[in-house]
A = this chain, B = another copy of it.
Amino acid sequence: MTTAAPAEAEALRARLSRLDTAALSDAMDSLRTPPCVLPGIATRTPGTIACGPAFTVRYRAVDDDTTFHNAANYIDDVPAGSVVVVDNGGSRTCTNWGSLLSSVALHRGISGTVVHGSVRDVKESRAAGYPLFSTDVTMVSGKNRVVLDRTGAEIDIAGTPVRPGDWVFADDNGALRIPADLVEEVVRRAEAVERTESRIREAALGGDRLDEARARFGYARPWEDGGDHDDR
């Protein structure tokens, strides 16, 4: 769990929202953290980002197909600002998310949804601008195929664990998690990465060779916000 107070959490979210998954992943690389990418997740609403503490949801296969199983009801309990992260084992055969959930999530101020599995109604979510990310798309309901196992537990997304309180960030490059205890340092380093890259870009577009600009602005260690130096 992040220990940040609400105001601090909001300040952190504001800083995160100006970053992207590329800078955040580079910052985590510099800290030699374990892999943080949620593999195989792609945007369904290009140009949007999801950014917030993870609200985890796990489904399991129905083992009794003689009984009717209701749709899962957890959305009313998701805190505003969270990213809903759904573990349905990467399923391509049934969905756990559709337009009704996107509408309610937008209404409740939820930041976005990442599904390790399939979603439906992508057209409607795109029209509403709801940040939706998934492994695949199908129209087949999860109802009577999978049931809610639990919420608020650690889940595993194709080898990457996501724990409640971890931050999740998703954009057009994919989705990643940031361990709760690292998020402040990761943001600080990612901001430095962005500054370093801006300096290099400006120099290269101003006529410098890229290799020289990279050396001059310390691209080998871009999170060390040192300005003009040479590390060749």
Contacts and interface: CB of A to CB of B under 8 A. Distances in A.
A143 B22 CA distance: 12
Given A37-B140, A70-B220, A107-B205, A100 B197 contact: yes
Interface in A58-80: 68, 70-71, 73, 75-76
Contacts of A40: 92
Given A70-B220, A140-B37, A141-B26, A173 B210 contact: no
Nearest to A144: B29
A212 to B, nearest CB: 8
A137 B42 contact: yes
Interface of A: 20-22, 24-26, 29, 35, 37, 39-40, 42, 46-47, 68, 70-71, 73, 75-76, 92-93, 98-100, 103-104, 107, 120-123, 137-141, 143-144, 171-174, 176, 197, 200-201, 204-205, 209-211, 214, 219-220
B209 A173 contact: no
A171 B93 CA distance: 16
A25 B140 contact: yes
A68 B224 CA distance: 15
Contacts of A76: 209-211
Contacts of A122: 172-173
Contacts of A120: 21-22, 173
B42 A123 contact: no
Contacts of A171: 123, 139
Contact of A103 (B35, B174, B205, B220): B205
Contacts of A137: 42, 172-174
Contacts of A37: 138-140
B22 A98 contact: yes
A91 to B, nearest CB: 12
14 contacts: A20-B121, A24-B139, A29-B141, A37-B139, A39-B92, A70-B220, A71-B219, A76-B209, A76-B210, A100-B197, A100-B204, A107-B204, A120-B173, A137-B173
A59 to B, nearest CB: 17
